[in-house]
Amino acid sequence: MKVLPEHEAKKLLIEYGIPTTKFEVIEKDEDIEQIRLTYPLALKVSSPKILHKTEAGALKLNIKSKEELIEEYRKMKEKFPDEVFLVEEMEEQGVEIIAGIVNDAIFKKCIMVGMGGIYTEIYKDVSFRMLPVGRHDIEDMLMDLKAHKIFEGFRRKVDKDALIDILLKISKIGEEMHIKQMDLNPIFLYEEGAKVIDAKIIMEE
């Protein structure tokens, strides 16, 4: 199997029209001078070897200036000397969703959606369908969730259609690409639109 570094995973999402963060790749100090992003920024190690960035100390959020970015980059570079780094614009918090593709021994390639963020493991509120799926299947998946009232405007309005659009595009990726596993968590769902914040993709051999 081949794990894609995050910047490659996000480039694949962009190719399929899935909205994600504005990012740039840094390989050396001079690249920081060329950055055309709006602060505050996040700095991440973009490596196939590091799947859990927070635990590994491979993520720094809310960087407010170029000076701070240079300082944090040098610290991280010392810790991960052989890696490539990703700098991206911080996004406004949205309702956190998880979505992706899993390969099941019995059901084969399936699409998954659920309530995301750091509490995914606790809530375990997810729904699966075998690929390919259409809009009706995705509507059913969202209704399967214990938190389905979120998509009907409970407490705050969210853009259900934007999420459905992302899920249809994930289904297309699953059909066209040799993907073993895709984990988009979190996807921030807003009153208008949605955006993939973090992406992990593992390709089949």
Question: What's the confidence (pLDDT) of residue 122?
Answer: 64
Contact by Cβ (8 Å): 111, 129: yes
List the domain boundaries for the chain.
22-89, 95-203
Question: What's the confidence (pLDDT) of residue 162?
Answer: 98
Instruction: Give the CATH number of domain 22-89.
Output: 3.30.1490.20
Other beta carbons less than 10 A from residue 114's beta carbon: 22
Across the 205 residues of the chain, what is the mean pLDDT of every consecutive 10-residue run?
94 98 93 94 93 85 96 94 95 95 90 84 85 96 93 85 98 96 96 96 90
Question: What's the confidence (pLDDT) of residue 96?
Answer: 94
Question: What's the confidence (pLDDT) of residue 110?
Answer: 97
Question: What's the confidence (pLDDT) of residue 119?
Answer: 60
Question: What's the confidence (pLDDT) of residue 40?
Answer: 97
138-163 pLDDT tens trace: 999 999 999 899 898 777 799 999 99
Closest CA to 187 of 109, 101, 93: 93
Question: Could you tell me the fold of the domain covering 95-203?
Answer: D-amino Acid Aminotransferase; Chain A, domain 1 (3.30.470)
pTM to 2 decimal places = 0.92
